[in-house]
Every structure is written in structure tokens, then in C-alpha cells.
Amino acid sequence: MTLDDIKNQIDEAKTVVVLTHENPDGDAMGCALAMYNALKQLNKEVDVIIPEFSRCFNFLPGVPEIKKEGKNEYDLAIAVDCSDTKRLNGFVDYFENAKVKVEIDHHGVNTMFADYNYVDPVSPACAQILVKVLPYWDIEITKEIGTCLLTGIITDTGGFKYSGVTSETFEFAAWLLQKGVNVSNVYRNVLQTVTRSSFELNRIAMNRLQFYENGKIAFTYITKEDEQSVKAETGDYEGIVDVGRDVEGVEVSIFLRELENGGYKVSLRSNDYVNVSDICLMFGGGGHIKAAGCTISNGTLENVRDKLIAQTKMYLK
């Protein structure tokens, strides 16, 4: 499937909906809003639907236009930074009901779920794909679109520190800087500034941090009662998994967040050699080599912890 094929579908569509995965991170938010602004540049009738997202992204151009729900049917649906329809969760119908479906993604476990799939698993961020794709489609990357794209790149590379970073990543960042994008402002908003609730959740998780397998596995968790006690909002739990990964000697960090309807949302991160995506695949999830997740619906906290640690032990050296 070529980019020209996707552009033809965009040209033919009158109404377009842009979607991304649940609990969107900076790459998901950045790509969705970059695509929204790009399609507006093409004079398309476009909706971007993201039911819930962290308020740390309120600075992004286009946020006021985000909708919680849309129309019954669109000519075209574009999903960005999403590996399968399960991650579209409660708003998958907007995708499924569209006449034509497109996805642009960078996850190695992508299921190629659209009519037109453009997936580059080598790219460290989906936003880095769009930096190349949009100009190819003769769409100008304005300061507004560039701000969205840089947010995605900075988020998914951990501020350019993860091993997936390429020379192109820095070239694109420099190019976006020339476009007038305020790099320090983006960095501060998505990586440095935390809400009071986020700070409190991090403190709770840090106090619970436990180590296994001679310190190679770090584990912590938060409960729904924890979130209620600090009046947490969507996204206030993001980044907690890195608390364990940053400890000397840790190869894999495991973080559990208890869900309102039961079960646990699981986040895994690794430092050097463990492919945490393979671990999460065993529990119906997936992601990237060094950053992945899944949802485990059944079992107590202790049961879920023990299953994850047992599976992770198999990948340690």
C-alpha cells in the first residue's frame, strides 16, 4: 500500500474522522492533532475524536476542537499510533462504520487492521513518520502542526534518550525548530511539568517499589482508591513505570494500575535486552521492544504480579 493510494482516498473523501488509542500519550495526541490540522489545510470536513486525555496536552494546537463523540458514518477514518482496533476501545464504531479505513502506525505488533495500512516499525515515533508523510502529500508543516509532531517525537523518545532514536530524529527536530516550534516549551509541558495529583501518585508508587531477581525486576502499583484519594484525572498515572526502570541494575520495570471496572492495566519497560512486547503478547497486549503494555482482567494484585514476574524471569540473562 503506497502513500499515493492513501492520499487518493483523502482527496476523494468529504468527511473524515481521526482517531487514536485509548489513554493517549503524547505521540497519539500529537499525531491525531497534526493530522486534524493537516486535513483542515486540505479543506476537509474533519472531526478528531478523543474521549479522554491528560490535561498536560492542553497546549497543543487544535485541542479545543477535539470531540468526545461524532457522526454515525464518515467517508474516511484515519487511525494514528494504534496497533489494533482493540485499542480504539469504546470509539471503534467510528472506525468500523467509515466507508474507507486508513491507519498510520509504528508498532511492530500492528495487526494491519485497515483497508490501507502504512506501518513503519523502525520509526521511534509515529509522529516521525508524519514528518515525512505530510510534505510528501504537499501539506505544509506549519508551526502548529510542527508543535504537535515534536510533542509526539519528544514523548516517544523520552526526550531523545531511548535507543530507537535515529539521526533523522534530530534532523527533524532541528527542522521543526526552524519552523518556529518552541522546543523548550514542548519539552517542559510533556516531560517536566506534572500535576499535583501525578506527583502524589508517583510518591505512592515509589514507596511501594519492590525488587525481584537480584534487582533486575522492579515492581510497583497504584489502586483505584489511590487515584480517588488524590483526585487524579486521566493521564496522571503516566510515567510511573519509569520510576523503577531508572533504578541502577533494573532491566525490567512493571507497573500495575487498578481499573475502575476491575482488573489491571499493565505497563512494562526495559533498559537493555528484554523485549517486553513479547512478554505482553502472552497476556493479550503488545507494544514496542522496550515499552509495552496489556490489560489483565482477572486475578488479585498478588496473582497478577506473580504471573508477570514469572513470565519476565524467562527473559532475563
- What is the pLDDT, as a whole number, of residue 162? 85
- What is the pLDDT, as a whole number, of residue 213? 97
Domain at 196-313: CATH code: 3.10.310.30
* 62 neighbors 36 (Cβ within 8 angstroms): yes
- What is the pLDDT, as a whole number, of residue 164? 87
What is the 8-class DSSP label of residue 55?
G
- What is the pLDDT, as a whole number, of residue 1? 65
pTM of the model: 0.87
Domain-by-domain residue ranges, the chain?
A: 3-192, 196-313
Give pLDDT < 50 ranges for the chain.
Answer: none
Taking domain 3-192, whether its CATH number is 3.30.910.20 is answered by no
Dihedral (CA of 59, 61, 65, 66) sign: negative
Identify any residues that bridge with 104 across adjacent strands, giving them in sequence order.
80, 118
Which among 171, 5, 187, 21 is positioned nearest to 92, based on CA atoms?
A: 21
Same fold, 3-192 and 196-313: no
Rounded to the nearest 10 degrees, the angle between the axes of helix 143-156 and helix 167-178 is: 150
